[in-house]
Structure 1
Amino acid sequence: MAKKNINEMSFLDHLEDLRWHLIRICLAVIIVATVVFIFSRFVFDSIIFAPLDMGFPTYDLLCRAGNFIGVETTFCAEEMPMILQNRTMAGQFSADIWTAILGGFIISFPYVVYQLWKFISPGLHDNERKYSRGFIVVSSLLFFVGILFGYYIVTPLSLNFLANYSISTVVDNQIDISSYIALVRSSALASGLIFELPIIIYFLTKVGLVTPEILKKYRKYALVIVLILSAIITPPDIASQVIVAIPILILYQVSIYISKIVIKNQKRKAKQYV
């Protein structure tokens, strides 16, 4: 059966179309998650638990930087002062399943974006589809850069700070595996989603909810929000928050520039129709 024209589709037709796109997304995530689950030993030993090793690239770099400026730092320690443990019968199995699902989503993200784009693109004009052709590539690139930023910057900074934070020598850090994986997961995923800010601003500008003037006017409020977000996804030390806040502020400035371009293109098209 041929697919109906977008103008001929009813509300229920749109829901049916959306349902099939969501089904394809779920199938893609499940298939990739299955592969991740099969190679779970490699995923945990080489990726998830890698920040526990003091030979992790971020620790080595920060240790060298501390030695260069003559400052003692916990990044030069021989081992992380914490022990992972599992305290529930299904704890390791649950960690394996949820990590596989998250890995499936991250790896299949370009396909997820592609399916969402296939759903919304029929409602756009030909010229709008032309200018938005790189949407999938750009959004996927920003997401993966954000994931890497969260994994190599936010995660080790948070882990090192919290593992070395102590209220007394009486207390040992015996961390449950679910707590550790939640930190790695939230740091990486939150950073990946935050790096989608330019894409979000692009669409908000397209629908008229955001303008460059609004973004500039509320820049100081955005700074406060950025610092709050940095405090949420990082440990409560100033250095970590600044490291996280800098790229977010850069993304905000890039978003203002993108918003300007969108408004400029809309004005040019409006003149052509006059």
Structure 2
Amino acid sequence: MVLPSSDRSSRSTAAVVHACRSSSMRSRQTYDEDDMFADSRMSFGDHIEELRKHLWRAIYGVLFFCVIGFVLDQVGDAVGMDYLGIGRPLMKIIQAPVEQAIVEFDEKNYQRIKKDAENNPETKAALDPKPITLLLSREARAKLLGVPTEQIVEGIEIETSYKPLELMENQRQADRLLRRKALTTLSAQEAMMTYFKVTVIAGLVLASPWVFWQIWSFIAKGLYPNEKRYVYWAIGPSTGLFIAGVLVCQFLVMPRAVAGLLWFNDFLGLTPDLRLNEWLSLAIMMPIVFGLSFETPLIMVVLQKLGIMTPEDFKKKRKYAWFGLAVFAMVITPTGDALTMLYLWLPMVALYESGIWVCKLLPGAVEEELDVDVPRSEDLIEV
């Protein structure tokens, strides 16, 4: 049986299409042996599912450390060990700079009053010894003499005097031992919410290696070996710089910054009343800002590795960089005062200069990997 030419043509076309589809399917099922992503290829939905799995693992890690923190805080409070726990010891560390600054602030006020008393006649007259009559009751007199109360007929009056300045000093020393905490709360729930906030942040910090590992486990599957090598190279320096920034802020900057801020209260004749929640926001934000700002040398090295900047470029643009760092420090510091801005700007300038030195020691990405001479942008001639 002979088919019409049109039918034969349509059947041959269908056969060719079927063969092409089969070949395409076989090619999709056959992976290149040199394909580094063969084991990690998956659909978009599978990628979302994999991301969800890693995120939940990270959340479980944070919750684990938060629960451990709550439990250890309760145990430390029960056994009377203030350093045992996570949230409570961390709150004491956060409160330490401001409490010390308040003590120094009170000491300066007391010394100023003493100085005014010596120079101001009216103040000096008010602080002169004042007469006072003390009534010694029968019971107190018997106790003082060590005899039964029945042998004492009546109490006696004692004429004496007191010095207001010495009384003020004694009261100040008593307040230092028995005074309320330097930080106050304005609501019943503020202390509880602040404690929970500190504990959750501490749990997040302690769980950060686990969280970063989960994020890295998801991202690393799509990176080339050389890209992974750059990440591994940056982990150590970035962690060290961040921790250095946090330590510098906590132990060097914060005490001086608080003292500087309290100086304005003294300058304006105001009595500071520091709130726990407001101070906590400042005490947590400032170390994070300093830690991130200390990453300046690493950012400079990354720009050099990407071929965007060179050590010579950093040198030529030094004055612009210093000005930009000053603007950044002015904007990013929560307090907004010039003293705290200088405490951040000066280390960043020093880190910028050290970053130039580090960039000189490390070759650029293009020169290191390709070993070819790449013309600079200024040397290119437009045609």
Give me the TM-score of the superposition, normalised by structure 2: 0.54
Gaps of 5+ in 2: 1-36, 74-84, 105-172, 373-383
Contact 2:66 2:202 in 1 (8 A): yes
Structure 1 residues 27, 137: CA separation in 2 closer, same or farther (over 3 Å shift)?
Answer: farther
The total of aligned residue pairs comes to 244
Give the CA deviation at 1:201. 4.2
Offset of residue 44 of structure 1: 1.9
* Range with greater deviation from structure 2 (86-95 or 188-197): 188-197
SS at 1:54's partner residue? helix
Residue 51 of structure 2: aligned partner: 18
CA distance in 2, matches of 1:211, 1:241: 28
Is 1:249 the counterpart of 2:349 in the alignment? Answer: yes
* 2:87 is aligned with 1:54: no
Of 266, 283, 286, 1:187 maps to 286
Of structures 1 and 2, the larger Rg is shown by 2
Contact 2:62 2:204 (C-alpha < 8 Å) held by counterparts: yes
1:120 aligns with 2:219: yes
Q: Is the Cα contact below 8 Å between 2:306 and 2:365 reproduced in 1?
A: no
1:77-96 matches, cutoff 5 A: 83-96=182-195
For residues 54 and 127 of structure 1, what CA distance do their matches in structure 2 show?
Answer: 50
Q: Would you say the 8 A contact 1:198–1:251 is kept in 2? A: yes
CA distance in 1, matches of 2:65, 2:197: 13
Match of 1:108 in 2: 207
Q: Does 1:267 align with 2:367?
A: yes
Q: Distance in 2 between matches of 1:115 and 1:210?
A: 32
**Aligned amino acid, residue 348 of structure 2:** I
> Alpha-carbon deviation of 1:209?
5.3
Work out whether 1:42 is the aligned partner of 2:89: yes
Q: What is the deviation of 1:258?
A: 5.4
Q: How many Å separate the matches in 1 of 2:46 and 2:360? A: 35
Query: Conserved in 2, the CA contact under 8 Å of 1:226 and 1:245?
Result: yes
Deviation at 1:18, TM superposition (A): 3.4
What TM-score do you get using the length of structure 1 for normalisation? 0.72
Matched residue, 2:322: 223
Higher RCO structure, 1 or 2 (CA under 8 Å, sep 6+):
1
- Answer whether contact 1:197 1:255 (CA < 8 A) is retained: yes
* Residue identity (%): 27
- Report the secondary structure of 1:88's partner residue: coil
Contact 1:216 1:256 in 2 (8 A): yes
CA distance in 2, matches of 1:132, 1:30: 27
Displacement of 1:149 in angstroms is 1.4
In 1, the alpha carbon distance for the partners of 2:274 and 2:57 equals: 37
Counting only pairs closer than 5 Å after superposition, residues 125-136 of structure 1 correspond to structure 2 as 125-130=224-229, 132-136=231-235
Cα displacement (A) at 1:211 = 5.0
Q: Post-superposition shift, 1:144?
A: 1.5
How far apart are the structure 2 equivalents of 1:10 and 1:250? 48
CA spacing shift, 1:263–1:14, aligned 2, 3 Å: farther
- The separation in 2 between residues aligned to 1:251 and 1:28, in whole angstroms, is 34
Give the superposed CA RMSD. 3.4
Q: CA deviation at 1:214?
A: 5.0
The answer to which of 90-99 and 210-219 deviates more is 210-219
| Pairwise CA distance, 1:95 | 0.5
Rounded to whole Å, the distance in 2 between the matches of 1:114 and 1:108 is: 10
